[in-house]
Structure 1
């Protein structure tokens, strides 16, 4: 797998994690907390995959491998950090919606 494919994998996994986290918020907003929790778990799994890619790149650099810092690489790191933030906020939103929900609707 070439370097660009690795970076694209990082972007895809981080993007999927962000999408799952946003879906969790949407579900919690409508009182569907079990589904929200499922999306949060899926977001964590996608983020774990993204972290594996990032960790392998960091380990490679520590071993002396050199990578070109490209706009695509910067975009990938930006995507990863944004996704991490959204995932953290999604957990907080889901918890907040649970505490304030008076409908107690479950699916």
Structure 2
């Protein structure tokens, strides 16, 4: 038996939340100077975003193919949740780049 539309929508929310959590985990690693772990966490965040995006794309393709897709508050929430996770991840990537620059400058200063 396939998933209901609600279960499918909740999958977008779950993967979006996982992506956001992994991005913040990456930021914590960067703050402590562990850029290797930060990159791994960002890669995991990317994977979660891809999973959510694939589900979202499937829903959109069904509608484009003529299948009626009911737009609910839950679906709008899922879309908002995913887009917020993507935006936060991109901001965190920029913050991590700044932490790397600070780290390099501090190491250069010590040398």
Query: TM-score normalised by the shorter chain: which range applies?
Result: over 0.9
Segments of 5+ residues of structure 2 without an aligned counterpart are none
Tell me the CA shift for residue 91 of structure 1. Answer: 1.1
Greater than 4 Å deviation, 4+ residue runs: none
Segments of 5+ residues of structure 1 without an aligned counterpart are none
Picking from 28, 32, 35, the partner of 2:34 is 32
Tell me the CA shift for residue 65 of structure 1. Answer: 1.1
Which secondary structure state, in structure 2, belongs to the residue aligned with residue 68 of structure 1? Answer: coil
TM-score (norm 2): 0.89
User: Given the alignment of the two structures, is residue 72 of structure 1 paired with residue 77 of structure 2, yes or no?
Assistant: no
Task: Tell me: higher relative CO, structure 1 or 2? Use CA pairs within 8 A at least 6 residues apart.
Answer: 1
Give the total of aligned pairs. 104
Higher helix share: 2
- The correspondence of residues 86-105 of structure 1 with structure 2, limited to 5 A, is 86-101=88-103, 102=106
